[in-house]
Structure 1
Amino acid sequence: MAKKRSLKAKLTRISRSKQKTDKPIYQRLIGIESKIEYHPFLEDWGNQYQSLLRSALNDRQKGISEINIEKSYQKKYNIQWGWADSLATNASSVFDQLTTGKENQISFLETDLKAGFAKAAENLETLENGYKNPSQQNLRNFNKKLLGVKSKLKRLQRKQQQLLKLKQEERLHICWGSKKLFKAQYNLEENGYSNHEEWLEDWRKKRGGNFYSVGKGSVNGNNPVTKIHHKQDDIFSVTITVPRCYQEIYGQKITLEFEITKQRKHDLLYALESNKPVTVQIFRREHKDNPWYIHLSTYVQAVPYISHKRNGCLGIDLNAESIDLVYVKKDRNLHHTDGKKTLFSWEIPTGTTGQVEAKLRDIVAEIVRIGESYQCPIACEDLDFSKKKATLRHSSKKYNRMFSGFIYDKFRAFLVARAEKYGIEVIFKNPFATSVIGMVKYMAKYGLNSAYAAAMVIARRALGFSERIPRSKEPIIGVCISSPEDKEVQSWGQWGKICKLLREQKLSRHQMFESAKVLEALHDAVSRTRMGKSPPRQGRKVKSASKPVVFSNSKIQGESPMPQNC
């Protein structure tokens, strides 16, 4: 089984160069994009390349290896080795992405079903208790709530069937083009088409107009079949080796020019002079009057880190409504400037996808600038949102915008990319109990809100400090420590017990903002434990999602009968 990659490894663009030297050389992957002049060959080969790519993906699903595809396609489709190698590499990349996507979807559905059935069972138990103890409050909107549970169960059962079908299917599915455009053929007039031929023209255009070639640093032009050269000033050229099947029409080679300026020009010149591989993608953009673009992926020297923990650390806490940042000094205390705390906050951006991404980039640029001014690393939570997205949809809707809007994933990716460009280290730390620790220890002490307090815990954790139980709180939570030996172990276990007690007390989020409320809830939990009373009853737990609750003849299997007039 392959070792699971860390979040930093997934997001970083820095890698170790394969060049053999006394000291390891680190390089950073960059992308350079520019408009390119039009040539009819781009249209023909772009459509043909995409057709061959779809065939190569089908062969990969049949079990044919990448090497065999590379060898067989040269003779079968009359193309050079460089193009066959690019096709095989591209098809394998798509195949791996589809495989990973299917595994992630199965995991997401399993988590979603487990949380969904548990929530449905909890709601049913609440309704059953209200039916047994009728009162105006318990019976308010009773039928509506019961129908809501029934609808939820039916939706979960449909997802169960979807999960079973997904596990049984061996073939990986992909829509080359877009699902929206594919479905438009069944409603032509509603989608602005007068006939099927008009739709077919757009469909073919959407599925073509794109080809790709893998770079190789040891050859002239840093690419076997799309060679890149510098001509003069800001002008570069790409010399495309025409596939043998098109040489009778377009000749053996086609040279096209494009312009690269400023820093991107210097990066590309460095890559060409240092024999770095330059991977080339030439494509058409339909939404901009169909101009053609060239995208170059290559490597430059990685910027050495200028940040160090001796200068402290910036801690980030991402909430449903804001992104909050604090600066903690190396002595683990909050930094002050002119008597004011060093705190920053930004609202979660809203708008279209493009607007949200643009605003997030601006926020990330400001955060990195702050880190650059203090020359300190940036600490962020290492959260797995694949499971969070599946479970939180069955609880609070507060975080829906943050999760469904992919803000957290985009924010982390933008932060790592920007920070590496300026030599600032990004550290991801375990987010365990950051909010509770911050509210219990630092909110009242430093006069912070819960978000800043959590960000302070993250920064301190990145600096290597542990969070011990405050001495003033030990008498209240002493019951959490079952034996004297527990006092000597890492405090995480103790904080875990505190979090559990707070959950049992059903303390709402807004109540946890007040330190006095938290201590009062802990005191009540301790009193119940000492008196031998059980905590407030929780919702019934469902051990497995394989046995869902099913409605039958106005009754629920495994539950008490409900009113039949629902």
Structure 2
Amino acid sequence: MSKLPVVTYQTRLRLTPEQSASLDVYAELYGRAQRTLFAKMRAGASMNELKRSFLRRFGLTARQFNAIRVELEGKIASIRERRPELIEELQARIKRGQKAIIRLEKKAPGSNTLHQKKRRLAILQAKLASLSADQESGRVRLCFGSRRLFRRQFALEENGYADHAAWKKDWQAERSSQFFVLGSKDETSGNQSCQATVAPDGSLRLRLRLPDGTGEPSKHLVIEGVRFAYGQEAILQTLSAGRVVIAQTKTVKLVRKREGSAVSYRFVRDRKGWRVFVSVEAQPVALVTRRLAGAIGVDINPDHLALAETDRFGNLVEVRRIGLHLYGKSEEQAKARIGDACRQIARACAESGKPLVIERLDLRKRRAELEAVDPVRARSLSSFAYAKTIAMLKAASFRAGVEVIEVDPAYTSVIGAVNHARRHGIGSHQGAAYAIARRGLGLSERPSVREAVVPTRNGGHVTFALPARNRTKHVWSFWSDVRKGLKAAHAAHARSGGNRLPPAPLLPKARALGATRTLSAKPRHANRRQHCSADVVDDLPW
């Protein structure tokens, strides 16, 4: 099985009213067949018997039935794979919520905040009970058309519906708004049911096989002039990669067999019309980086990406900060900003010839934090797409020929704050990125000082003595004790009012490494909402 990633490109189709109507009928038949197949599968029917009956009942080809089956099995598999993680995540969120309620009962026993926390805890416990019951029974719940739209029928006026019939019209349209065309590498043009050919003007010509159950007079729908603003060359390269080879089978000595790359299509209808998504296997890219040159570490944070570059000996070369102000942005705006930042990082790695080192983050712990943090922090965490950033970093690095090294994130922030921040005059996040880069190179993580001087958010610092190290244990055991001392020092610093002091000037070494600061007319503590703009680089040792 190939390990190359699958990339998807999309474009909007220019269709006549007749062509659009044909796709509407196809999508309606596809959705009805998929929902029926899911009901039959839950009833325990045999797949072979279902295939024979579905081909006759819905007028499908064997390949079209396989597309419905593969998509449905993928949905079911993803739910079953995700469910244990959701249960573990809910257990962690309930535990944090219970601790928050205990603290509020002591501080504000009759507050509205305590009441809302209890309501939230009851909701989480109900979700956990439902998921646990499904896990034990093996039952899978699927809502075709999205659960959010389904719930809108219970508040018609608030969601802009005049009556239930108007909602039902949208509901039925959403349940029949797309269909999938499965590809295979041994078929012509990578797909038997939808074949793409290159027109003389360089555009693509799609020849889509319609199901017999649609009642269309023609078996095929031809769509001309399909162009992709991004990915056209990759699709053309995939279509031209197919070749005919001579293979040997058990019954026939020699047979002509076609080998190439599978090309799958998904047609999706939205408010503006129909779009087509083409999924192809990415072409292999030669690596342009090597670990002997050093590494570039990235520390992912809700509002920025911190970068630290090292040489082959693990010495710090440069630090950078790329702002990611995603709060208040739409999903597409957030994806655009994250994509720009990831391409910038991949380009820097390719130019320097150094691999990219990232953390293997546990997103369940991140989501569990939402139950115990303040509302501002919770909105920041929920607005930031950790998974999307990691996926885009890997995709951009693959296209640029950059090796991606994933490391365990244990204690990188503590190591960066204690070992590197004060020593190099950089921020704690840049120090964490530096620790990540060194871990990717397999370098030492031993403590470099006996007394920790860790910078704080306002430019000051906290100081505490490091515990004695037991060399018979792993070094992470030592950093676990250091983290406890660091938390206690930060708490004492906050109680003493140290966070309200004005920031200290930058160290000369920090300026030499590339750290900058934009001065403000007001001190930082005067307004917590005061931030630099998205284009301002802020590398203070905070």
Q: TM-score range by the shorter chain?
A: 0.7 to 0.9
Matched, 1:266 2:247: no
State yes or no: 1:348 paired with 2:322.
Answer: no
Matched, 1:311 2:278: no
Q: Which of these residues, 371, 376, 383, is aligned with residue 405 of structure 1?
A: 383
Q: Is 2:97 aligned against 1:116?
A: yes
Write the distance in 1 (CA, Å) between the matches of 2:424 and 2:228.
49
Show the counterpart of 2:74. 93
Q: Secondary structure of the residue that 2:306 maps to in structure 1?
A: strand
Corresponding residue of 1:49: 30
Looking at structure 2, the residues matched to 159 and 399 of structure 1 have their Cα atoms a distance apart, in angstroms, of: 20
Q: 1:418 aligns to what?
A: 396
Q: In 2 relative to 1, CA 106–232 (structure 1 residues): closer, same or farther, beyond 3 Å?
A: same
Counterparts of 1:163 and 1:511 in 2: how far apart (Å)? 37
User: Is 2:467 the partner of 1:490?
Assistant: no
Matching of residues 103-182 of structure 1 within 5 Å: 103-124=84-105, 126-127=106-107, 142-145=108-111, 148-149=113-114, 151-169=116-134, 170=137, 171-182=139-150
Partner of 1:249: helix, strand, or coil?
Answer: coil
2:262 is equivalent to residue 277 of structure 1: yes
Q: Secondary structure at the match of 2:262?
A: coil
Stretch of structure 1 that moved more, 494-503 or 45-54: 494-503
Q: Is the CA contact 1:480–1:497 (under 8 Å) kept in the aligned structure 2?
A: no
The answer to whether the aligner puts 1:459 opposite 2:437 as a matched pair is: yes
Closer/same/farther in 2, CA of residues 257 and 191 from structure 1, 3 Å limit: same
> Match of 1:283, as an amino acid?
V
Structure 2 unpaired stretches of 5+: 242-259, 453-463, 499-542
Give TM-score scaled by structure 2 length: 0.77
**Matched length:** 460
CA shift, 1:455, in A, is: 1.0
Amino acid at match of 1:266: E
The one-letter amino acid of 1:487's match is R
Contact 2:297 2:358 in 1 (8 A): yes
- Structure 1 residues 441, 259: closer, same or farther in 2, change over 3 A? same
- Partner Cα separation in structure 2 for residue 510 and residue 421 of structure 1: 45
Q: Give the Cα separation in 1 of the matches to 2:481 and 2:203.
A: 65
CA distance, structure 1, for counterparts of residue 344 and residue 492 of structure 2: 33
Alpha-carbon contact 1:240-1:253 (below 8 Å) kept: yes
For the Cα contact (< 8 Å) 1:402–1:408, is it kept in 2? Answer: no
Aligned-pair CA distance for 1:489: 4.6
1:232 corresponds in structure 2 to: 200
Query: Deviation of residue 60 (structure 1)?
Result: 2.9
Which of 189, 198, 206 is the matching residue for 2:166? Answer: 198
Distance in structure 1 (CA, Å) of the matches to 2:384 and 2:341: 16
Hey, what does 1:522 align to over in structure 2? none
Structure 1: state its 5+ residue gaps: 1-15, 18-25, 128-141, 336-340, 515-566
Q: CA deviation at 1:435?
A: 1.9
Correspondence list, 1:365-404, <5 A: 365-397=343-375, 399-404=377-382
The residue number in structure 1 matching 2:424 is 446
Match for residue 56 of structure 2? 75
CA contact (8 A) 2:342 2:393 kept: yes
**Structure with more relative contact order (C-alpha pairs < 8 Å, separation 6 or more):** 1
Deviation at 1:493, TM superposition (A): 1.6
Secondary structure, in 3 states, of the residue corresponding to 2:56? helix
Question: How many percent identity over aligned positions?
Answer: 23
Q: How large is the Cα RMSD of the aligned pairs? A: 2.8
- Work out the CA distance in 2 between the residues paired with 1:495 and 1:368: 31
Amino acid at match of 1:480: A
Task: Say if 1:397 and 1:327 are closer, same or farther in 2 by CA, change over 3 A.
Answer: farther
Instruction: Evaluate the alpha carbon distance shift between residue 397 and residue 158 of structure 1 in structure 2; reply closer, same or farther with a 3 A threshold.
Output: closer
Q: Is the 8 A contact 1:117 1:156 kept in 2?
A: yes
**1:280 partner letter:** Y
Shift of 1:333: 0.9
**Stretches (4+) displaced over 6 A:** 508-512
Residues 54-102 of structure 1, C-alpha deviations (whole Å, 9 max, x = no match): 1122233334465554344223323210111111111111111222343
Q: Go from structure 1 to structure 2 and tell me whether the alpha carbon gap of 1:113 and 1:67 turns closer, same or farther (over 3 Å shift).
A: farther
In the alignment, is residue 499 of structure 1 matched against residue 476 of structure 2?
A: no
Q: 1:188 to 1:445 in 2, by over 3 A?
A: closer
Mark the CA change 1:92 to 1:64 in structure 2 (over 3 Å): closer, same or farther: farther
Per-residue displacement from partner, 1:116-144 (whole Å, max 9, x unpaired)? 223333454x55xxxxxxxxxxxxxx454
- The answer for the alignment partner of 1:27 in structure 2 is 4
Q: CA deviation at 1:448?
A: 0.8
TM-score normalised according to structure 1 size: 0.74
Q: What SS class does the counterpart of residue 301 from structure 1 fall into?
A: coil
Aligned to 1:553: none
Deviation at 1:386, TM superposition (A): 1.2
In structure 2, C-alpha distance between the alignment counterparts of 1:322 and 1:478, rounded to whole Å: 29
**3-state DSSP class of the match of 1:266?**
helix
Q: Is the 8 A contact 2:10 2:228 kept in 1?
A: no
CA contact (8 A) 1:320 1:398 kept: no
**Matching of residue 294 in structure 1 with residue 294 in structure 2:** no
Report the residue type matching 2:264 in the other structure: T
Distance of aligned partners of 1:71 and 1:345 in 2 relative to their CA distance in 1, 3 Å threshold: same
Cα distance in structure 1, aligned partners of 2:117 and 2:4 = 50
Confirm or deny: 8 A CA contact 1:66 1:89 kept in the other structure.
no
Counterpart of 1:164, as a letter, is A
CA contact (8 A) 2:466 2:482 kept: no
Choose which of 188, 210, 220 in structure 1 pairs with 2:178. Answer: 210
**The residue matched to 2:196 in structure 1 has which SS?**
strand
Aligned partners of 1:67 and 1:88 also within 8 Å = no
Q: Deviations over 1:24-48 (max 9, x none)?
A: xx63422222233241221111111
In structure 2, the CA distance between the partners of 1:121 and 1:41, relative to structure 1 (3 Å rule), is same
Deviation at 1:196, TM superposition (A): 3.8
Measured in 1, the distance between the counterparts of 2:103 and 2:490 equals 14
Opposite residue 199 of structure 1, the aligned amino acid is W
Secondary structure in structure 1 of the residue aligned to 2:199? strand
Q: What SS class does the counterpart of residue 180 from structure 2 fall into?
A: strand
Contact kept, 8 Å, 2:322 with 2:341, in 1: the verdict is: no
Q: Secondary structure at the match of 1:250?
A: coil
C-alpha distance in 2, partners of 1:106/1:31? 31
Larger radius of gyration: 1
